[in-house]
Structure 1
């Protein structure tokens, strides 16, 4: 089936099955086009918590679908591909993290939402890149903090909040793929361009940025900026939605270390989702996300604390 036919069939199935399609900004354009809602982790969490749909189709990565299930335990949550993982989530195994926490018994545990449901059960707070500073700021200054799993976001938060936090040594392979040397050369060719970066990027990339923020934060910044040209240091998929929001502005993807065709950074996990897989998973209502009730109950607490903040 061609793209248009698949999109029509998916749209029809959503109506028949009372389903909602949630898609992350990093999904391919043809998925974003038919999604009921496109957003970053925080926005998708909020949407998942408020939906009245009977079935949630989550086009993102697996930890996001788990979060949707935690917030909607009575609803069916399905994913196009169960193997769409995340280097941050995969790099923080629950057994090793639990052992790690034994070294810091008097610490509050704050975890970035990019982690497994099991890691969330070991947390006091969950945060996203959109609200991490706000979450950290609600914790009393004298309280010691462990932050996981992203060391780059953690270092950024230490710099922004002045808090001395213990960090788990995890990172996002996508946001560590940017080349500083190539970025500098690109900016020299475009001296009028504003560099915007996601806080999961490495410190040397963040030092070059004129603005640092979450996926939605970058979109809002570019929309409100009087500037007309921007270099974007995050996953390349965001440019599709950004360009729709600011059709009159020039958006340039930040260059990666690898010599690929677009010279930009892409998340291979996010790109595992396709229209064909979405159609099949909605037709079969599978693969479904299953979580034990105990995990759901324990993981709800830190997520709800985040949503309340």
Structure 2
């Protein structure tokens, strides 16, 4: 199955077996809980298999205080799908993949945005909201893809391939986006590349995503950079083969940042939001996810009627820095503010807005 499907936001309307509240409704109830005890009981319904009771109660205490401060400061909390489960289910107002969060960041009227994601995500929110305070809970929450090239690298690529438009995956710095014609995410990359009136396209920085896009858009010549996601590059065809040998009925889902041979071996490849939708809607009872393992925990909690295989946990070390404790301190102390200087911000914004117009 193709990975270039329309995505849906991850705080979806899917319901647990036998009816009941949606994930979105349960998250809203957690955010509005009137006591730590009420929030704890709310989380326990979803996460009893993820955390011991004592740890879950401590997390409920932290989440309750975060939600109190969020209301007091009129802050918006955006969270990426790779958050740890307690954060995912108790704190963010909006949850999604990079494209959905970019859209929502552009729409908010709240004065403070706390981004539960890595630096390029918070930076994207600041690019789209220059007059708002944008906070990231951990300064060290970077990204191997964003760190794999600089604006100077992009300028050298443009000089080597004059006239070729540059498509920047959102997993890039503001300076790199500013040197690019348009941005993309994993959910719309092929669509963005196909929209360009050029035979040759420079695609940065993800080598594997570029190769997977090239298969979807064979009429384009794609010049790729050599960046790789430190999580997704670890998956192999052997992982898929071993899973199928042990579980012949398993349906394998791979993120498009995985190597092309892994994507080809999978049954489906798509963005985090597309993978969430697939698990919710597909009749398969056993699914293996080739992506960041916290997302596997979140999907398992949302789909208790399905067996989610995570044969080896590959946690993003940067997303692991985004904790309840760090989020609480971010709201208490208004740290760490993200800044993007002009004219970098305005040039990067143009690339993002072109993407949003296509998306």
TM-score, length of structure 2 as denominator length? 0.81
2:286 to 229, 242, 245: 229
Q: Which consecutive unaligned segments of at least 5 residues does structure 2 have?
A: 1-56
Alignment of 1:275-294 (within 5 A): 275-294=324-343
Q: SS of the residue aligned with 2:145?
A: helix
2:79 to 23, 35, 45: 23
2:103 alignment counterpart = 46
1:199 alignment counterpart = 256
Alignment of 1:208-219 (within 5 A): 208-219=265-276
In the alignment of these two chains, the number of paired residues is 300
Q: SS of the residue aligned with 2:109?
A: coil
2:51 alignment counterpart = none
Partner deviation per Cα, 1:111-157 (whole Å, 9 max, x = no partner): 111000000001101000111111112112x4421000001000001
Cα deviation, residue 220, structure 1: 1.2
**Contact preservation (8 Å) 1:108, 1:143:** no
**Contact preservation (8 Å) 1:178, 1:265:** no
2:41 alignment counterpart = none
Partner deviation per Cα, 1:157-210 (whole Å, 9 max, x = no partner): 111110211111111110011243243112211110111101100122112101
1:139 alignment counterpart = 196
Q: SS of the residue aligned with 1:248?
A: coil
Cα deviation, residue 245, structure 1: 3.7
Cα deviation, residue 302, structure 1: 0.9
2:221 alignment counterpart = 164
Distance 2:60 2:281 in 1: 33
Distance 1:30 1:137 in 2: 39
Cα deviation, residue 51, structure 1: 1.3
TM-score, length of structure 1 as denominator length? 0.94
Distance 1:98 1:280 in 2: 39
**Contact preservation (8 Å) 2:199, 2:221:** no
Q: Please state if 1:155 is matched with 2:211.
A: yes
1:264 to 313, 322, 327: 313
Distance 1:3 1:245 in 2: 19
1:55 to 95, 112, 129: 112
Please provide the CA RMSD for this pair.
1.3
Distance 1:27 1:270 in 2: 7
Q: Which consecutive unaligned segments of at least 5 residues does structure 1 have?
A: 256-262
Cα deviation, residue 106, structure 1: 1.1
Q: Please state if 1:94 is matched with 2:151.
A: yes
Partner deviation per Cα, 1:206-255 (whole Å, 9 max, x = no partner): 121011111111111222212111111111121233224432111112x4
**Contact preservation (8 Å) 2:236, 2:259:** no
Distance 1:16 1:133 in 2: 42
Distance 1:272 1:152 in 2: 25
